[in-house]
Structure 1
Amino acid sequence: MKPSMLFPYKSRFIGLALIVAHVPVRAIWEMINPDIDESHKLPVNAGDSALFTNGHLFFIASTLLVLTGLFLVAFAKEKIEDEQISQLRLESLQWAIYVNYFILIMSLVFTNGIDFIDMLRLNLLIPLVFFIVRFRWKLWQLNRLLKKEEV
């Protein structure tokens, strides 16, 4: 992955701020509207007007907030972006796609109806979250190994 295709280093902090801002906003919304689990689901014959309900608009806005934050965190440059970090990034992205498709296939086999729709929504977040976790874990292991070799 070319470093020029990545966001600047500081965009990671903007992404973290978006993710952290989502948590209290979502919690306040759920306290105000306790039926949030059903408010973003549309009835089968709802028509076009159901797309613009408060619950559905909030669901779209909060999902976009989290996805934007995760995207900025995942694809921000490191302070020092070298070939080894690029290789770790590529391997982590590959593993994220493997995990995502495994979960997608399992959800196709074992779920149906509304549960399947929830699994598809979850598949929006899984690749980015798994990529971030695996990439940070491998980067931490690499830094720990380098520190041991220096001593």
Structure 2
Amino acid sequence: MKTRFLFPTRFKLFGWILLLVGLGLGALLMMNDLDYFNWKVNVFPLIGEESGFLTSNESLTWSENNVSDEVASILIIIGGVLVGFSKTKEEDEFIYKIRMESLIWATYVNYAVLLLAVLLVFDMPFFSVLIYNMFTVLFIFIVRFHFMLYKSKKQLSYEE
């Protein structure tokens, strides 16, 4: 079966490494109020901290920023995408079906959680929920996809 838009199998291990490093860094940053790593770098923000979209001196000018949280987010996103969307060793129609159902299921669960957060969480804790919500589609998809693969392989071994 020809699979479009999937990465080669060998990218999965690299994805797991990036994902775990990003999760570790992110956990350290969240536990220590984002002050544990102080990686100050000159950045070129599209939107400045005290400005509107492209409207004041803070936008489109170089400024110094701690990029540790951005690094953690990038590692989690790239690692999660590589883990979730790398081919399995035996990619067939059944695995394709599991992948698609897991992605749809993860999207539904993600937006159900977001809807509950919109109704029940307010102020700065809501901002934290939004940060975590950026990654929940990937996490739920990866967990469900691999659980369903495990479950189907276990069921196949019982039939043999």
TM above 0.5: yes
SS in 2 for 1:119: helix
Deviation (angstroms), 1:119? 1.1
Q: Cα RMSD (Å) of the superposition?
A: 2.8
Mapped pair 1:82 → 2:92? yes
**2:65 paired residue number:** 53
Distance 1:121 1:24 in 2: 16
Distance 1:117 1:96 in 2: 21
Unaligned runs of 5+ in 2: 38-48, 52-57
Alignment length, in residue pairs?
A: 140
Deviation by residue 1:47-82 (Cα, 9 ceiling, x = unmatched): 538x7421xx21111111111101100000011110
Mapped pair 1:97 → 2:137? no
**1:69 paired residue number:** 79
1:126-137 aligned at under 5 Å gives the runs 126-137=136-147
Deviates more, 1:17-26 or 1:133-142: 17-26
Poorly superposed stretches of 4+, deviation over 2 Å: 20-31, 45-49
> For residue 10 of structure 1, what is the amino acid of its counterpart?
R
> For residue 115 of structure 1, what is the amino acid of its counterpart?
P
Distance 2:72 2:12 in 1: 18
The structure, 1 or 2, with the larger RCO (C-alpha pairs under 8 Å, 6+ apart) is 1
Considering fraction of residues, name the structure with more strand.
Answer: 2
Instruction: Describe the shift of the 1:144–1:66 C-alpha distance in structure 2 as closer, same or farther (beyond 3 A).
Output: same
Instruction: Describe the shift of the 1:127–1:115 C-alpha distance in structure 2 as closer, same or farther (beyond 3 A).
Output: same
Considering fraction of residues, name the structure with more helix.
Answer: 1
Distance 2:151 2:17 in 1: 26
SS in 2 for 1:146: helix
> For residue 21 of structure 2, what is the amino acid of its counterpart?
A
SS in 2 for 1:77: coil
Distance 1:23 1:123 in 2: 14
1:34-45 aligned at under 5 Å gives the runs 34-36=32-34
CA contact (8 A) 2:19 2:80 kept: yes
Deviation (angstroms), 1:145? 0.8
Unaligned runs of 5+ in 1: 40-44
SS in 1 for 2:4: helix
**1:42 paired residue number:** none
Instruction: Describe the shift of the 1:3–1:21 C-alpha distance in structure 2 as closer, same or farther (beyond 3 A).
Output: same
